[in-house]
DNA sequence: CATTAATATGTCATAACGACACAATGAAAA
DNA sequence: TTTTCATTGTGTCGTTATGACATATTAATG
């Protein structure tokens, strides 16, 4: 396999994959072979492949799911994103073959994507250069390679921005969920508490939720009603967004 | 000059430069040599240059101003953005030298930036491949090369999005301006009319304007007061943004 | 069956919003 | 000089949205 033949030079994609589980926002990370460092799932872009499609491919390979919410959020193009010492260690640790040395020593720019996935649907699988693929809580991110911490930070900013623009949740929650679960998702993404009662009033006013007749039994207390997103109205709000300031 | 030596392969930047004049939103465009088509100002990225710096450089070269508002808004990475027939015509029209043929026939991805500039400060100058550099009203965009129309469309979306997030205007208006001029700027960007009185109330409530003691005389009617942006408070709002929904 | 802890719903004072009325002003016309 | 007129400056008013908080309801527990 000749990287130079196959891939667009000096270009990669990285996918910050968000999931929501145990009331925590998590990202899918790769544990690098023979290293203590972790990485955001990424890959190269084939010469005859849309950049977006490369991101979709990476996502599919790491999670085994398709058709999920995926958006480009930033291009990371600093000249010193990588340096030779990083590639030195990759070669030393036998993470990459020596004949691929010159490919990895290129200057790379990378396109950041963030994905919102339903936690339970994901089957994590590592890639060539990693030994494990795991969900990691955002509150507990380990040491990451290169500028991957910054990539995650920017992805979170983009996600927060998306939250203020339109609805979020259909891609992160199971089909049926309680109002508390939805609110906790928002609280987790925003990093702040929201008033339970006012949240419900406002969320319902958007008209994107269907209140189901079921309740979630089995909890220790009063059984909360279940809700689901109204596909049609949810998608309308996705496009039009919430109240514009102007 | 050897492009392959100098520049990062398969990568360009394009800058959608917005200006506001005669109550119209305009973009700075280049008229291609020996062609009826126009283009958004762009350039390549030097091998040892941040992508952002390449955009700054392009901007400086076309407008002769620096330190202006410039933000990356999207990477255009479709595999068929360009095609051979386009390069054929470039060579035929002697826009590019024949020995540079192979450089231009690469697959290119391009990073879109949008800039907000004060119209009167700009001194437009064409580049190697163009014969003119002019302001063109957004309402009257001519035939553009490649996907440049889409690039402008996306830039406008990004600008509109910026408008709902925080203050806009310091970079597009002269230091002193009337409330009507500011409102017209907003109306032009949004493409809709805004109530004169409610706009003023809301804009003042942000606390980013200083009302000056001067009025703009010389108009045909009552002389309107002049305002300027309060640098400190404007910048605060730029970072924090306006009212969040949540 | 009472207790408990969480859910469901409502209230209330205040702020924000959209629509609109009317007075003030300064250049231009009479 | 006086009147006209378009535009600016400011205010009002009814409605809706918001934040803070009170109270009733309910499923599981002991």
- Give the CATH number for residue A236: 1.10.10.10
Pair A38, A107 in one domain: yes
Pair B52, B126 in one domain: yes
In a domain, B157, yes or no: no
The ipTM estimated for the assembled molecules is 0.94
Pair B137, B184 in one domain: no
Question: Can you spell out the DSSP letters for B19-50?
Answer: EEETTEEEEEEEEETTSS-EE--EEEEETTS-
Give the pLDDT confidence score for residue A99 in this predicted structure. Answer: 85
Pair B21, B119 in one domain: yes
Cβ neighbours of A243 in B, within 8 Å: 245
Measured CA to CA, the distance from residue A180 to residue A225 in angstroms comes to: 10
Q: Are A227 and A210 in contact (CB under 8 A)?
A: yes
Give the pLDDT confidence score for residue B206 in this predicted structure. Answer: 95
Pair A115, A48 in one domain: yes
**Total count of domains within chain B:** 2
In a domain, B50, yes or no: yes
Is a pLDDT exceeding 90 seen at residue A18? yes
Q: For A116-135, what is the mean pLDDT?
A: 97
Pair B104, B135 in one domain: yes
Pair A13, A90 in one domain: yes
The last residue of a domain, from among B121, B149, B177: B149
Q: For A39-51, what is the mean pLDDT?
A: 98
In a domain, B213, yes or no: yes
In a domain, B158, yes or no: no
| Token pair in block for residue B95 | 């826009």
> B243 touching A, CB under 8 A?
yes
Regions of chain B where pLDDT drops below 50: none
Measured CA to CA, the distance from residue A138 to residue A187 in angstroms comes to: 13
> A119 touching B, CB under 8 A?
no
Cβ neighbours of B11 in A, within 8 Å: 10-11, 109
Q: For A21-50, what is the mean pLDDT?
A: 97
Cβ neighbours of A50 in B, within 8 Å: 77-79
Q: What range defines the domain where residue B49 resides?
A: 3-149
Residue range A49-101, pLDDT digits in tens:
999 999 999 999 999 999 999 999 999 999 999 989 999 999 998 888 888 89
Give the pLDDT confidence score for residue A145 in this predicted structure. Answer: 97
Residue A157 confidence class, pLDDT cut points 50, 70, 90: very high
Pair B89, B116 in one domain: yes
Measured CA to CA, the distance from residue A67 to residue A118 in angstroms comes to: 11
- CA nearest neighbour of A172 among A30, A15, A23, A64: A23
* A246 to A217, A225, A234, B156: CA distances (angstroms): 43, 35, 22, 16
High-pLDDT (> 70) share of chain A, %: 100
Burial of B192 (0-12, 13-18, 19+ CB in 10 A): exposed
Contact A75 B186 (CB under 8 A): no
- Give the CATH number for residue A109: 3.90.79.10
How many helices (H) and strands (E) chain A has is answered by 8, 10
Residue range A171-215, pLDDT digits in tens:
999 999 999 999 999 999 999 999 999 999 999 999 999 999 999
Is a pLDDT exceeding 80 seen at residue A41? yes
Pair B73, B172 in one domain: no
Contact B8 A245 (CB under 8 A): no
Pair B104, B9 in one domain: yes
Kindly report the three-state secondary structure assignment for every residue of A91-124.
HHCCCCCHHHHHHHCCCCEEEEEEEECCHHHCCC
Residue closest to C3, CA→C1'? A221
């Amino acid at each position: 396999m000749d990287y130079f033949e196959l891939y667009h030079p000096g270009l990669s994609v990285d996918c910050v994959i968000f999931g929501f589980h145990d009331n925590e926002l998590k990202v899918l990370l790769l544990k690098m072979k023979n290293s203590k460092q972790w990485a955001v799932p990424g890959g190269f872009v084939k010469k005859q492949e849309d950049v977006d499609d490369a991101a979709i491919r990476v996502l599919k390979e790491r999670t085994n799911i398709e058709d999920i919410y995926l958006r480009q959020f930033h291009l990371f193009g600093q000249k010193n994103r990588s340096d030779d010492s990083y590639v030195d260690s990759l070669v030393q640790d036998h993470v990459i073959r020596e004949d691929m040395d010159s490919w990895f020593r290129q200057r790379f720019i990378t396109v950041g994507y963030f994905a919102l996935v339903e936690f339970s649907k994901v089957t994590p699988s590592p890639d060539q250069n990693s030994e494990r693929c795991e969900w990691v809580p955002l509150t507990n991110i380990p040491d990451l390679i290169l500028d991957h911490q910054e990539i995650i930070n920017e992805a979170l900013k983009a996600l927060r921005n998306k939250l203020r623009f339109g609805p979020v949740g259909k891609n992160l929650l199971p089909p049926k969920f309680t109002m508390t679960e939805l609110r906790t998702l928002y609280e987790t993404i925003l990093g702040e508490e929201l008033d339970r009662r006012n949240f419900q009033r406002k969320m319902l006013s958007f008209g994107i939720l269907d209140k189901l007749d079921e309740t979630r039994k089995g909890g220790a207390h009063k059984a909360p009603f279940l809700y689901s997103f109204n596909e049609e109205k949810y998608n309308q709000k996705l496009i039009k967004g919430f109240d514009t300031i102007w």
